[in-house]
Amino acid sequence: MSEISRGDYTLVWSGVGYERRAAAGRACLMKKEIVEKHLNKWEPKSERILVIELQYDNEVETRIAAYGPNEDEKKTVKDEFWEELTTTVEEAKGKIYILGDLNARVGKEDNKFKGIMLIINTGKKQEIITG
């Protein structure tokens, strides 16, 4: 669990050690002013989920930074991640924002998500961009 500030920004992060980099971990970069005035807490729930709670006057905002397991990960690992993310969302306060790379797939039903998901066919591999 670490926090570092440079210039106008603060980065909070937590995850796995250097030898396991790119396997898990999450981070959130915020304006230093937001951290100083509005940050209630930030707490790693696991190596894949980080919760940041902000207070704006009488409103609470929860940002959940998540890094989902890859598609080739064991089913038990994926199930544990989704259960933990669900519990984290249920425990969150106020407005909830989920950020990060969930490594989610929507399968053959992707046409239901036009405007949310963009499919790009590069000729080599189909890429899905969400936004």
> With contact defined as beta carbons under 8 Å apart, do 13 and 50 qualify?
yes
CA gap 3, 24 in Å, rounded: 17
**CA within 13 Å, CB half, 31:** 4
Can you give the residue ranges of every domain in the chain? Answer: 2-105
What pLDDT is attached to residue 72? 82
Q: SS3 of 63, please?
A: strand
CATH code reported for the domain at 2-105? 3.60.10.10
In which element (H, E) is residue 97 found?
Answer: strand 95-101
**CA within 13 Å, CB half, 5:** 8
State the pTM of this model: 0.71
CA of residue 38 relative to chain centroid, distance: 20
Query: Helical H runs in the chain?
Result: 32-38, 75-91
Per-residue confidence of the chain (131 residues) as pLDDT tens digits? 577 788 898 888 777 665 665 556 778 888 889 989 999 998 988 888 999 999 999 999 999 999 888 878 899 999 999 999 999 999 999 999 998 888 766 556 656 666 655 555 555 444 444 44
The neighbour count for residue 24, using CB atoms within 10 Å, is 17
